[in-house]
Amino acid sequence: MKVLIKKNYREVSLCAALKVAELVRSKPAAVLGLATGKTPLGTYRHLIRLHKKGLDFSRIRTFNLDEYLGIGLALDKSYARDQSYARFMHEEFFKHINIPRENIYIPDGLTKDPEEHCRWYEEQIRKEGGIDLQILGIGRVGHWAFNEPGSSLDSRTRVQPLAMETQDDNYKKFYKKAGIPREDMPHFAITMGVGTILESRAILMIGTGAEKSVIVSKALEGPVTTEVTASSIQIYKGDALVILDRQAASRLSDSRFNQVQE
Ligand code: PGA
């Protein structure tokens, strides 16, 4: 695992985008694993800028980590109350780049048969040849995707109840602004499993802000535990790159992790 510490959110986002762009250039039909949330937004904005300068996504395939159960919609529509990750991805990234609709995979929050859908999703990842680079944030509870505390490190794509802290965080970040009452926030999601994520060929984890500092140090330096599913990065066998800003890295004690790179 390699850890890069950058000055601030902007530098983290730029560095992460350059890593993704490097892969897109060297492997034009690469399979990217994508994350939602506040953290990767800056990365997507830089990638959109690079696309405007010629970065080509026309053969790229993408798999998103997760989606709330019970909401979702066709990617080209938009409803004020819809807080689906499908909509988030469309608004924040896909509609600004040249990726064909059929190359985009996001779990379907409106599926009638979630179990079958989860099996299908795993099957599509295999059929597309596996994920070359998985982008990950980290939640305050230490989750990767919606692998909440207690999720097995072997887990596969499945329906997962959301931890109360996750519901509170995501309500504040996304639902409240849209005027949606707290009780309408979904309590379940479809998420890729930790085992699914660990099969990616490379991982790019990004973490920013002081509120992530405790959980980042637990994930990178604490015990590997199902209570902090991001700690599984310590047993990951592929290429892992972690990019943090100074604040998120501020509680790391290992001196290898203490170098700020300008
Ligand atoms: P955030 O979410 O990027 O909005 O902080 C991260 C996560 O929950 O994985």
Residue 40 neighbours by CB under 8 Å, 6+ apart: 16, 34, 135, 137, 206
d(CA 120, CA 125): 9
Which residue has its alpha carbon closest to ligand 1 atom 2?
37
Region of 166 on the Ramachandran plot (φ > 0 left; ψ -120 to 50 alpha; else beta): alpha
Give the global pTM.
Answer: 0.94
Which of 74-78, 103-107, 153-157, 194-198 has the least mean pLDDT?
74-78
Closest ligand 1 atom, residue 36 Cα: 3
- Cα 37-101-99 angle, rounded to 5 deg: 75
Residue reference for tokens 């600004």: 96
**Which of 255, 153, 243 lies closest to 206, judged by CA?**
243
Substitution site in 41, 135, 169, 203 for ligand 1 pocket (most atoms within 8 Å of beta carbon): 169
Q: Rounded to the nearest whole angstrom, what is the distance from the C-alpha of residue 219 to the centroid of ligand 1?
A: 14
pLDDT tens digit sequence for 75-127? 445 444 578 899 899 999 999 999 999 999 999 998 999 999 999 999 999 99
Q: Rounded to the nearest whole angstrom, what is the distance from the C-alpha of residue 146 to the centroid of ligand 1?
A: 10
pLDDT at 259: 62
Closest ligand 1 atom, residue 208 Cα: 5
For the cut 70, the answer to whether the pLDDT of residue 258 exceeds it is no
> Residue 11: what residue type?
E
Region of 150 on the Ramachandran plot (φ > 0 left; ψ -120 to 50 alpha; else beta): left
Under 8 Å between Cβ of 236 and 200: no
**DSSP type of residue 142:** -
Substitution site in 9, 34, 36 for ligand 1 pocket (most atoms within 8 Å of beta carbon): 36
Q: Rounded to the nearest whole angstrom, what is the distance from the C-alpha of residue 39 to the centroid of ligand 1?
A: 6
- Residue 178: exposure state from Cβ atoms within 10 A (0-12, 13-18, ≥19): exposed
Closest ligand 1 atom, residue 41 Cα: 3
DSSP tally for the chain: helices H, then strands E: 7, 10
Closest ligand 1 atom, residue 143 Cα: 9
- Cα 80-85-91 angle, rounded to 5 deg: 60
Closest ligand 1 atom, residue 140 Cα: 8
pLDDT above 70: percentage of residues in the chain: 93
Region of 37 on the Ramachandran plot (φ > 0 left; ψ -120 to 50 alpha; else beta): left
What are the Cα distances from residue 146, in Å, to 19, 96, 240, 245, 262?
24, 26, 20, 23, 32
Q: Rounded to the nearest whole angstrom, what is the distance from the C-alpha of residue 21 to the centroid of ligand 1?
A: 22
Average pLDDT over residues 50-69: 97
For the cut 90, the answer to whether the pLDDT of residue 70 exceeds it is no
Pocket of ligand 1 (CB under 6 A): 37-39, 137-139, 143, 173
Q: How confident is the model at residue 226 (pLDDT cuts 50, 70, 90)?
A: very high
